[in-house]
Each structure stands twice: as C-alpha cells, then as structure tokens.
Amino acid sequence: MASSPIQAVPTDIEHEKLSREELIALLHGVTEQRDNLLAQYESMALQVDESVREIAADELDAQQSEKKAEASEHRAELEAAHAAELSSQLDEERRKRAEIADEFARFREAAKHAPVQNPWDVLWRAAAQIVSDWVAWTRAKIPSDSAFLPWFDRVVELVKVLSRLAFKGAQALFGWAKPHVIELWSRLKSERRRQ
C-alpha cells in the first residue's frame, strides 16, 4: 500500500515547548496537506463524475437504440398490415372490374343479337343500361347504414323521370324539326341553282 501523503503529526505536542515560528510552520504544513488532500478528492470526484456521465450517456444511447428498434418494428408491422389491406382492396377492385367487363360483354352480346326496329329505342336502351350500371356501382360504394342512401335513391328516381321526359321531348323536337329542316334544305338548294 502506498504511504499516506499525510505526515505523521505528533499527538503529544507540547504547545509550550514549541515556539511561535514552529507552530506557524506546523500549521502551514497541515494546511498544505489539507489542500493536497482536497485537490486529490476533487480530482477523484471529477473522474467519478465523468465516468458516471459516460455510463449514463452509454445507457441513454442503448435505450434510444432500443426505442428506435421497437418503433421501427412497430412501423414495419403497420406497413405490412397496410400493404395487406391495400392488396385486398386491389383484389376487390379487380374482381369488380372483371364483373363490370363481363356485364359489358353481356350487354354487347345482347345488343348484337337484338333486332333493330327504332334506332332511338336502341340508343335509349344502351344509355339506360350504361347509366344503370354506373348507378349500381355508385350505390354499392355507399354504406348500407348511411343516411345518404335514401336521398341517393330519390335523386336517382328523379333523374330517371327527368331523363325520360327529356328523351321524349327530344324525340318530339326531332320529329317536328326533321320535315322543316328537309324543306328548308330543299329551298336553299333551289335558290342556289337559280343564282
């Protein structure tokens, strides 16, 4: 073991035998030893404090790394769940797209074999079929417990009635305008020939 930096001080000092200078020198020696001890203790305290800080920083880094790893794992789980949900939605959309394509193929086949009597009726049936498919697709997107669904149905019925009226009005206008346009065209042709 290293020798102690404190010098042995005689305990049985006889104050009367020591002179004043000796006492002052002894006091300076003790004060110097005290200062040396305090400096050593301060140095040790600083070293301990630095070591504690390094250990605390290492522990904090380890905790942060662990939290980052947990957050990354959680994020990966969420992304995997989101990817699975998007995949199922994509499959559902593909299935619906295939159903719509089949429906249009069925419609084309029916239109190909349907006898054409009046082109306006064929046009009306084609437009009605396409619009009804769109309406059915849109209605399927609305949740069944939505308060908007009855209003949607009412609007669809109103649009159907108004479109029928508009179609009949267009037919009547065409029926009225056709002879007038033909007559006007004939007049213009005859006027042009005269000139």
In this predicted model, what pLDDT tens digit does every residue of 150-181 receive, in sequence order? 999 899 899 889 988 998 998 899 889 989 99
Please, which contacts does 167-176 make with residues 24 or more away whose CB atoms are closer than 8 Å?
167/124, 171/120
- Give yes or no for residue 191 having a pLDDT over 80: yes
- Give yes or no for residue 101 having a pLDDT over 80: yes
- Give yes or no for residue 119 having a pLDDT over 80: no
Percentage of the chain modeled with pLDDT above 90:
12
Quick one: DSSP state of residue 163? H
pLDDT category at 13 given cuts 50, 70, 90 is low
* pLDDT, position 141: 87
Site of tokens 């009605």: 128
- Give yes or no for residue 123 having a pLDDT over 90: no
Whether the CB-CB separation of 122 and 111 falls below 8 Å is answered with yes
Task: List, in sequence order, the alpha helices (H) in 6-147.
Answer: 20-113, 119-141
- Give yes or no for residue 1 having a pLDDT over 50: no
Instruction: Pull the structure tokens for residue 106.
Output: 């069925």
120-130: average pLDDT: 79
* pLDDT, position 154: 93
pTM over 0.75: no
Closest CA to 110 of 95, 96, 138, 130: 130
Instruction: Pull the structure tokens for residue 122.
Output: 């064929």
Site of tokens 């006091």: 27
Q: What is the pLDDT of residues 77-95, one digit of tens each?
A: 999 999 999 999 899 989 9
Q: What is the pLDDT of residues 48-59, one digit of tens each?
A: 888 888 888 888
* pLDDT, position 18: 64
